[in-house]
Amino acid sequence: MGVSFQSPSFFPGLSLKDNLVYHVRFFDLKPSASEINEALGDMGLLGFSDKKFESLSEGTKKKAEIAKVLQTKEVCDLFLLDEPFSGVDPAGRDTIMRSLKAVSKESGKLIVYVSHTLAEIEELATRVCLLADGRFACEWSGQEFSQVLRKTSSGVLIRVPRAYEIDDKRVRALNGVLGIRTENESTIIRLESQRSLPEVLEALKEFSVDLEAIEIERAGLKEALVSIYREAVGNEHP
């Protein structure tokens, strides 16, 4: 089993190339120099092969961690990766994504990874599991998750300062209101579309809400994550 931690783990004082060599020896592998160079090249790290690990940037360390783990693909059928895309720039993210897709497609290896970034999950995962309170709360196929994501990331959000008291039950009953919740110092009303906006704003004025004090924005991936979580585990969770 290959394991990648959120914080890359390497031998300090050794070059990146030597770290890769020592790692695979724990799996009784003896890679050639060309195989090491290939592993580094796949991650765009050939220019860093002789650099000490501690001198590398965080993004480069993360790519090196993935390169190190994927070196064992010949003997490992399962890979566990903790936040494999954290700390990397968009180019590094694409490099890691491409490598993981290749390993999964070409060798049929099972990759289980943790992520809080919905766009990455949608692009890479074929099965998605939601963890809540240490248990599996919900599971989708990759296609099902994409459908849920499109549904929950659409719409309009109205943020009302908590200083204003509004009738939650009445607001929920308005046409096009999908939900209402509290978050930090705001009450957030989620609408299906902008068509419902005039009616909701009129209701807020009846509650003496200063419309200049509210914020209106399009729902996005953050809202999708909140909606998916609440739907799966219930509204009693924050």
End-of-domain residue from the set 61, 85, 114: 114
| Structural domain for 173, as ranges | 154-219
Residue 164 and residue 95 share a domain = no
Residue 174 and residue 83 share a domain = no
Q: Within a domain: residue 65?
A: yes
Q: Within a domain: residue 128?
A: no
Q: Within a domain: residue 110?
A: yes
Q: Within a domain: residue 123?
A: no
pLDDT (0 to 100) of residue 228 = 75
Please state the pTM of the whole predicted model.
0.70
CATH code assigned at 191? 3.30.70.980
pLDDT (0 to 100) of residue 63 = 93
Residue 192 and residue 104 share a domain = no
Q: Within a domain: residue 17?
A: yes
pLDDT (0 to 100) of residue 236 = 45
pLDDT (0 to 100) of residue 237 = 43
Q: What is the largest CA-CA distance in the chain?
A: 75
Q: Which amino acid is at 129?
A: C
Residue 94 and residue 26 share a domain = yes
CATH code assigned at 41? 3.40.50.300
Q: Within a domain: residue 169?
A: yes
Q: Which of 128, 120, 75, 87 is nearest to 101 (CA)?
A: 120
In three-state form (DSSP H/G/I as H, E/B as E, the rest C), the secondary structure along 108-131 is CCEEEEECCCHHHHHHHCCEEEEE
Kindly give the confidence (pLDDT) of every residue in the chain, 238 residues in length, as a single tens digit, with 9 standing for 90 and above. Answer: 889 888 888 888 899 999 998 888 888 888 888 889 989 999 999 999 999 988 999 999 999 999 999 988 889 999 999 999 988 998 999 999 999 999 998 888 899 999 988 888 888 999 999 887 788 888 899 888 888 877 777 788 999 999 999 999 999 999 999 889 888 889 999 898 888 899 999 999 999 999 989 999 887 766 777 777 776 666 544 4
Residue 164 and residue 85 share a domain = no
The Cα angle at residue 120 between residues 222 and 180, in degrees rounded to 5: 15
Give the count of domains, the chain. 2
Residue 178 and residue 102 share a domain = no
End-of-domain residue from the set 99, 114, 129: 114
pLDDT (0 to 100) of residue 93 = 92
Q: Within a domain: residue 175?
A: yes
Q: Within a domain: residue 124?
A: no
pLDDT (0 to 100) of residue 94 = 93
pLDDT (0 to 100) of residue 60 = 92
pLDDT (0 to 100) of residue 234 = 62
pLDDT (0 to 100) of residue 84 = 93
Tokens representing 88 are: 């990397």
